[in-house]
Structure 1
Amino acid sequence: MNISYDLLRSYVATDLSPEGVAEALTSIGLETGGIEEVESIPGGLKGLVLGKVLTCVEHENSDHLHVTTVDVGDEEPLQIVCGAPNVAAGKGVVVATIGTVLPAGEESFTIKKGKIRGVESYGMLCSEVEIGVGTDNSGIILLETDSITPGTPAASHYGVSSDYILEVDITPNRVDATSHYGVARDLAAYLTQQTGSVVSAQLPELSASPKAGSCPLPVSVQVPSTLCPRFQGLVIRGLKVGESPKWLRQTLERIGLKPINVVVDVTNFVLHEYGQPLHAYDLSKVGAGLRVKLAEEQKMTLLDKSEGQLSGQDLVIASTDGTPLCVAGVMGGLDSGTTEQTTEIFLEAANFNASSVRKTARRLGLNTDSSFRFERGLDPERTTWALLRAASLILELCPGSSIDGGLFDHYPEPSEPYAVTLDLGYMHRLIGQEIPESDVARILASLEIEVTERQGKLWSLRVPRYRVDVTRPSDVVEEILRIYGYNRIELSGYIHANLSPKGAVDRSYSRKLLLSEQLTGAGFNELLNNSLSSEAYYEGLTSYPAERLVRLVNPLSGELNVMRQTLLFGGLAAISRNLRRQQRSFYYYEWGNCYEAAPEQTKSDATTLAGYRERQTLGLWVAGERVTGSWAHPDEAASPFELKAQVEHIFERLGIALSGIKTSFVERDIFAGPGYAYSTYEGKELVVLGQVHPRLVAAWDIELPVYFASVDWEQINRLAERVKLEAKELAKYPIVKRDLSLLIDSKTTFAELEQAARRAEKKLLRSVSLFDVYEGKNLPAGKKSYALSFYLQDTERTMSDKQIDAIMSKIRKSLEDGFGAELR
């Protein structure tokens, strides 16, 4: 939020510099991100002085240039060549001397000594547009010489003023600080603590006073007080709506607002001054009265000329015939706003339910200054001052206007301050240091927290309603501590250690770090994508059907309207983005949650989250070039076998034996062909990998094969939890290797042969490897040749040939019976 330094000091007296104010606010929790100097005229007219043209003659080498001598208060006049048609001797002018920097749109240029058609020029005579004081560009500025003194800075002549804008970051709980007065109130509390004397923030005096009696415009509130706790307003007539005075326009512009007209500008000013939104209705467009009601299913054109679709859950202020004039707490309607033709208004200040405003703003896709404050919860007790402040300014700035009738005030259930009991002993234990009671009392008073009763260490407090975040003793302690000063709390030097053992969550996190280091060391880069996704990605997919998507009720946009079911599309987006930036190698991994909804018939009404599932997932992507531009190795494209190797390295790193994992080919429509799956023998899928379907790849403008693996981290982590590390002596007896060359069916996979061999010999078979594959000439149709190595070891004795032959015979028979394998 932008805070004007000058405006802030109009509410609290302080001689702190802008930097000092920023430091003070940051120390009490209102972090100030930056300070920017702004001037009423861009550039501040630095280097510009007033001068008097002494002589003016035509340039001998030009038919439109003039050579002038100008008195700028120095010992010698300046010779300046000027092309303006209205330059003349005896006139006062504005001179940009050598070295002056003049703005030129978003850029600038520096005045230098130069020659124009052979004549030296030592400056420039300026027009209104060139220095930013007007819009006339037909000639230079001419002033009467009897009203100026040569050499006077132009900034002094034009009354240039400057201010500093502080960028204050407001946390969601501090709605009380979303105004200049709110920030001033906190700064006053800080100054009170620092100086020891009472410093208070002061609001301007109010001059508007409604008459006794009722408001002449009938208003009815037709919703419960929970939706509209308070609604106030008054009628002002005799208006002549025009441009706001200079001070108001400049104030709004400095904090980033665009002036519109005097009525709208006043409501915006009060909003940023006091934090209470207001709205002014043109009475000629209102009709016979106003109704605060729930909307119907209808469309409404808003002030920003956008069209909003209202629902029966949206709170609106409507005319008596039901036409919506304003979306409560969000934005007014285009047909109800004030214009230069407006002569009478109904000025409204109200309090609306925070949740209702938030839902409506999100549904309409709006985020206004008004909704920003209402969504955080405003105090209904603050509406009256804001309403009368705006009325006072309108009456002051619109001579001849007046308040007609009394004040309308619908306030069925007045709010009371929050009652909190503070135990000073609890506070000291929580802080770790005792704070003098006199300091505590002074801080509470400076924060407008009333101490109603003291019973020893127990203090009964009344916290202002505008402090919606201070409702518990711990909240009060936080308020005291931030004003007292976090840096004043001394560290005891005592270190608290947590000796509790690691839990399952800690172990899972440690394994993630371990695997992340392994993948990073293998050349992968980690991705971090948004868990929100687009429903369009899932159209037509059966692997991740659209009916299983978790949809958002109030999506930020059409591209982010569902929770992702898979990590795939985030990786494709990263590959596409980096491919367009001339990258050729893509090795990525990402840890993230995926979400899916159960079919409608399985959902339960018992809890909000019933029927939904969240899965921790690891995604791996391999694409592009594995080796490129190496003098020692020919270029080599990435391969799915690399991805398969990385998946198996994950199992090995976690200590999960591959012999206990079942592999198979599976059909997935996200893959170009059969996918390759790892699963438990109970049928729980652990990993599925394959080449991404060209249709999906083409949608991202990727013109190379992409290989993707989805790892179900929850299932793999459960297997890792069962792994027990045991230390054993190294085997004293050698490993025996035997080879078999087999003729098998072309559809048979190595994984199937390995699993059959392990079933045949569970005790002494250590590993199986494939060292040769042949398909083609001299083999029967539909056949291929596999050459396998079998590694056998007995840890208790040296194996005999008879024992080895018996095992190999058993393995061979298993392969022959199961797959029709023949020895070659």
Structure 2
Amino acid sequence: MKISINRLKEFIQLNHTSEEIADMLTQSGLEVEGIEPFESVPGGLKGIVIGEVITCEPHPNADKLSLTTVDIGGEVLPIVCGAPNVAQGQKVVIATVGTTLYPSKGEGFTIKKAKIRGEVSIGMICAEDELGIGENHAGIIVLDTDLPNGTPAAEYFNISSDDVLEIGLTPNRADAASHLGVARDLKAILKTDLTMPSVEAFAVDNNSRPFQVEVEVASDCPRYAGLTVSNIKVGPSPDWLQKYLKCLDLEPINNIVDITNFILHDLGQPLHAFDADKVSGDSIIVKKLDKDTPFITLDDKERKLSGEELMICDESSGLCIAGIFGGKGAGVSESTTSIFLESAYFSPDVIRKGSQHHGLKTDASFRFERGTDPNMPIYALKRAAILIKEIAGGEITSEIIDIYPHPIADFEVHVSYKNIHRLIGKEVDNEEIKSILEHLEIKVVDETEHGFKAIVKPYRVDVNREADIIEEILRIYGFDRVELTEHYKADYLAEHPAKDGNKLQYRLSELMAGFGFHEMITNSLTKPIYGEKSGFLDPVDNVVILNKLSEDLGVMRQSLLFSGLEVLSHNINRRQKDLRFFEFGTVYKKSGEGYQEDKVLSIFLTGDKAAESWLEPSKSMSFPDLFSVVERVLEKLNLPDLEMEITHELPFDYALQLSLGNKMVGKIGLVNDKITRLAEVKQEVFYAELNWDYLLKRSTGLKQYAEISKFPEVRRDLSLVIDREITFDAIRKVAVKAGGKLLKRIGVFDVYQGDKIDKEKKAYALSFYLQDLENTLTDKVIDKTMGRLMQSFENEINALIRK
């Protein structure tokens, strides 16, 4: 669910950063999964200014080009322009050097200093489509403005920006499925006031278009309200409304439909507008139709009714699947002049069944099937009617119809102070408890020294037991304010079996064997000389054997490296040079007054990848071969992404150090030849050593494989020019952050360093694989994700995107 920070500020006064707001909401139970910047024009017109054409002359070497000089406020730029309408004295829009433009069609590009037919051009005079603010490419934009030269173009075009929160809404928090709902939580957290949009301007103009409404199944439709608005003009929505919808990833349709969508996301109340002239007999009947009745929905599909879904009908046929999807017959179009506006409360059960039967998941059904506020329909109806009059004109031509025979009562919950303190695990002051509940709009009545009765409004469908009230108190009070005791414990409803380390080790051994590796088991006793001459093991930490069998077996090993190298040496001396070994073994060292034991997984690669063959020349083992094996091991253990850092410390020539949660868990690299010579190995050895105990602790068990998604994966490629010291891991982190849940994986298919680019730079050709597990990706979503990736690469690692 997407929430606009700017819109939240219309409900509640906020002097906090977007990150602080996100943190407050997450701590209170509304987990913010990400913060996405929104700009009404891609790039926000950064680097684009207003200028004035000082001179304009024909280009000496091109008939259709002009040489201009443009004042951009304290600086005059020579610019070659190909637009036919450029002229001296015009106020124009200039993209300065270094600015990235995001045109209406095609990919973005960066303005550079250039020579065009022998003449220097520093900047660009822009057309509408080049800025992404329109489709016109007939000529440059000519402004009628008194703004001084050099003024940012964003000021003239009123470019707005916003931060959009992506909230992972849990099914029980239906009340928070709107800006109002989120603002209510912030009100309780900050103990401040909430401002509701006024509906005092609502007034019925006349009663010239009354409608008759009949509800045949009151149990499925406890409340149904509506009114008519006539003499409206359907057309595009104003700029502010279109920007609001776009920041929530909604496509503006027309002013009437856009207003109903605005109310849904603003207040959490779905509305539906019918073309009143297409409603037979000016009558609305809420009922069920016979099974297998055909019904054509707004997407032009004919659907067979189950007979169990609730339908909105007129005297002759069905108009809408109630709370789920509108029908084609009575939808609002450009020719609509009168509407009947519906605002209702439907039973969650009937909406859920209808939605599942037809496989339709809409913004309206999402809210109705979880439970909306039965006290909201009239307020939302008035608010929508006011907006329709302001935006689409017209007049309200009926009284509000409100069929609500059995009002839904507030929940009454008896709460004990003793139980509050027991379940929270701390004694919270009674006055603070009452203050929290008051700011959550939960009344406290009939209070005694032992407890009270809580009156909960029905929009909080998830708060109807004592435990629910206590949960509300705790999430606003703050989980982090409850101190852990020395002997804390937790109750649980189901057992969580401990991870079986032996089973995981066995499964990984199978995996390694499948990669062509042999398992080895080596002696835990080793030579003291390895600690003395290696340069990376401290002899002081050696665990010395008191009754040595020999000097060669005088200490316990601190690393699996040397025992493994001895195995390699033994095999190489017998002409077996292409080797792949692994070992699960224990290492030992002194720790204060005692000793420390750690279980380690070691992996060795040396020699050629495959035996000599006439089919292809032999290739030596390389670092990527070892890294790919380690990557599969970590993937099998279902571990999160690890931090990676390049190191050149012994025993390696070069290596990657892997960290998880600020703890070093392993290293992968090429063993230094000084180390290999100690074990009499004379060929390159690639070695990985992983802390098996810690990996086992952090593993969530063997990776579980899911059914392949029925929605296709999409690949997009980018070429980046970056500084040579920037690693692929740094690129991957930026991509994962910007790509969100749609980005499934990243690949590198080319790397270039040469004379065609700066010697301090390198070029990466990257492939990005996008997939939505619930929907087919549209070009709009793909382009938006790739735009976000490109912008992040430019801002965070100073990348140049090669077009």
Tell me whether the two structures share a fold, i.e. TM-score over 0.5.
yes
**2:366 is aligned with 1:411:** no
Q: CA deviation at 1:511?
A: 11
Q: CA deviation at 1:211?
A: 7.5
Distance 1:475 1:201, change over 3 A: farther
Tell me which residue corresponds to 2:652. Answer: none
CA contact (8 A) 1:92 1:148 kept: no
Cα distance in structure 1, aligned partners of 2:410 and 2:513: 54
Tell me which residue corresponds to 1:478. Answer: 471
Q: CA deviation at 1:517?
A: 4.7
Q: Summarize deviations over 1:662-690 as a string: whole Å, max 9, x none.
A: xxxxxxxxxxxxxxxxxxxxxxxxxxxxx
Counterparts of residues 550-629 of structure 1 (less than 5 Å): none
Cα distance in structure 2, aligned partners of 1:431 and 1:499: 15
The secondary structure found in structure 1 opposite 2:376 is: helix
Aligned length: 517
Q: CA deviation at 1:207?
A: 2.0
CA contact (8 A) 2:45 2:153 kept: yes
TM-score by length of 2: 0.61
Distance 1:494 1:512, change over 3 A: closer
Matched AA of 1:374: F
Q: CA deviation at 1:512?
A: 7.8
Tell me which residue corresponds to 1:107. Answer: 107
Q: CA deviation at 1:72?
A: 1.2
The secondary structure found in structure 2 opposite 1:34 is: strand
Q: Summarize deviations over 1:106-132 as a string: whole Å, max 9, x none.
A: 632111111111111111111111112
Tell me which residue corresponds to 1:294. Answer: 288
**2:273 is aligned with 1:276:** no
Tell me which residue corresponds to 2:522. Answer: none
Q: CA deviation at 1:92?
A: 1.5
**2:318 is aligned with 1:319:** no
Q: Summarize deviations over 1:466-516 as a string: whole Å, max 9, x none.
A: 00000111100000010011101111111449999xx9x98xx67987656
Matched AA of 1:432: G
CA contact (8 A) 2:199 2:382 kept: no
CA contact (8 A) 1:239 1:398 kept: yes
**2:41 is aligned with 1:41:** yes
Tell me which residue corresponds to 1:154. Answer: 153
Q: CA deviation at 1:135?
A: 2.0
Matched AA of 1:382: M
**2:190 is aligned with 1:191:** yes
Tell me which residue corresponds to 2:377. Answer: 383
Counterparts of residues 444-593 of structure 1 (less than 5 Å): 444-496=437-489, 517-523=505-511
**2:334 is aligned with 1:340:** yes
- Name which of 188, 212, 216 aligns with 1:218: 212
Counterparts of residues 2-151 of structure 1 (less than 5 Å): 2-75=2-75, 77-104=76-103, 105=105, 107-144=107-144, 147-151=146-150
Cα distance in structure 1, aligned partners of 2:422 and 2:106: 56
Matched AA of 2:252: P
Tell me which residue corresponds to 2:677. Answer: none
Tell me which residue corresponds to 2:580. Answer: none
Matched AA of 1:343: T
Matched AA of 1:8: L
Q: CA deviation at 1:436?
A: 0.7
Cα distance in structure 1, aligned partners of 2:463 and 2:370: 13
Q: CA deviation at 1:325?
A: 0.4
**2:427 is aligned with 1:434:** yes
TM-score by length of 1: 0.60
Tell me which residue corresponds to 2:699. Answer: none
Distance 1:287 1:408, change over 3 A: same
Cα distance in structure 1, aligned partners of 2:21 and 2:107: 31
Q: Summarize deviations over 1:330-380 as a string: whole Å, max 9, x none.
A: 011011111121111111111111111111111111110000001101232
**98-107 vs 182-191, greater mean Cα deviation:** 98-107
Q: Summarize deviations over 1:555-592 as a string: whole Å, max 9, x none.
A: xxxxxxxxxxxxxxxxxxxxxxxxxxxxxxxxxxxxxx
Cα distance in structure 2, aligned partners of 1:6 and 1:459: 38
Distance 1:524 1:295, change over 3 A: farther
| % identical equivalent positions | 44
The secondary structure found in structure 2 opposite 1:239 is: coil
Distance 1:53 1:499, change over 3 A: closer
- Name which of 252, 270, 277 aligns with 1:259: 252
Cα distance in structure 2, aligned partners of 1:226 and 1:215: 28
Distance 1:525 1:434, change over 3 A: farther
Structure 2: any 5+ residue segments left out of the alignment? 515-607, 614-803
Tell me which residue corresponds to 1:169. Answer: 168
**2:365 is aligned with 1:371:** yes
Tell me which residue corresponds to 1:394. Answer: 388
The secondary structure found in structure 2 opposite 1:98 is: coil
Tell me which residue corresponds to 1:207. Answer: 201
Q: CA deviation at 1:524?
A: 8.4
Q: Summarize deviations over 1:19-54 as a string: whole Å, max 9, x none.
A: 111111111111111112212222111111111111
The secondary structure found in structure 1 opposite 2:467 is: helix
Tell me which residue corresponds to 1:552. Answer: none
Cα distance in structure 2, aligned partners of 1:629 and 1:213: 86
CA contact (8 A) 2:47 2:96 kept: yes
RMSD over aligned Cα, in angstroms? 2.6
CA contact (8 A) 1:211 1:406 kept: no
Q: Summarize deviations over 1:222-242 as a string: whole Å, max 9, x none.
A: 11x221111111111121222
Cα distance in structure 2, aligned partners of 1:216 and 1:57: 67
The secondary structure found in structure 1 opposite 2:397 is: strand
**2:208 is aligned with 1:182:** no
Tell me which residue corresponds to 2:635. Answer: none
Matched AA of 2:140: I
Tell me which residue corresponds to 2:344. Answer: 350
Distance 1:518 1:251, change over 3 A: same
Cα distance in structure 1, aligned partners of 2:421 and 2:197: 35
Q: Summarize deviations over 1:397-420 as a string: whole Å, max 9, x none.
A: 233x22223221111211110000
CA contact (8 A) 1:206 1:392 kept: no
**2:235 is aligned with 1:242:** yes
Cα distance in structure 1, aligned partners of 2:120 and 2:270: 59
Cα distance in structure 1, aligned partners of 2:513 and 2:156: 61
Q: CA deviation at 1:629?
A: 7.2
CA contact (8 A) 1:214 1:407 kept: no
Cα distance in structure 1, aligned partners of 2:81 and 2:202: 54
Q: CA deviation at 1:291?
A: 0.9
Matched AA of 1:119: E
Cα distance in structure 2, aligned partners of 1:211 and 1:47: 50
CA contact (8 A) 2:48 2:99 kept: yes
Cα distance in structure 2, aligned partners of 1:497 and 1:62: 80
CA contact (8 A) 1:189 1:200 kept: no
Q: CA deviation at 1:55?
A: 1.2
CA contact (8 A) 2:181 2:267 kept: yes
The secondary structure found in structure 2 opposite 1:107 is: coil
Cα distance in structure 2, aligned partners of 1:169 and 1:476: 22
Distance 1:457 1:212, change over 3 A: farther
Cα distance in structure 2, aligned partners of 1:519 and 1:9: 54
Distance 1:116 1:255, change over 3 A: same
Q: CA deviation at 1:304?
A: 2.3
Cα distance in structure 1, aligned partners of 2:248 and 2:168: 14
Q: Summarize deviations over 1:600-652 as a string: whole Å, max 9, x none.
A: xxxxxxxxxxxxxxxxxxxxxxxxxxxx976599xxxxxxxxxxxxxxxxxxx
Distance 1:522 1:54, change over 3 A: closer
CA contact (8 A) 2:199 2:379 kept: no
The secondary structure found in structure 1 opposite 2:84 is: coil
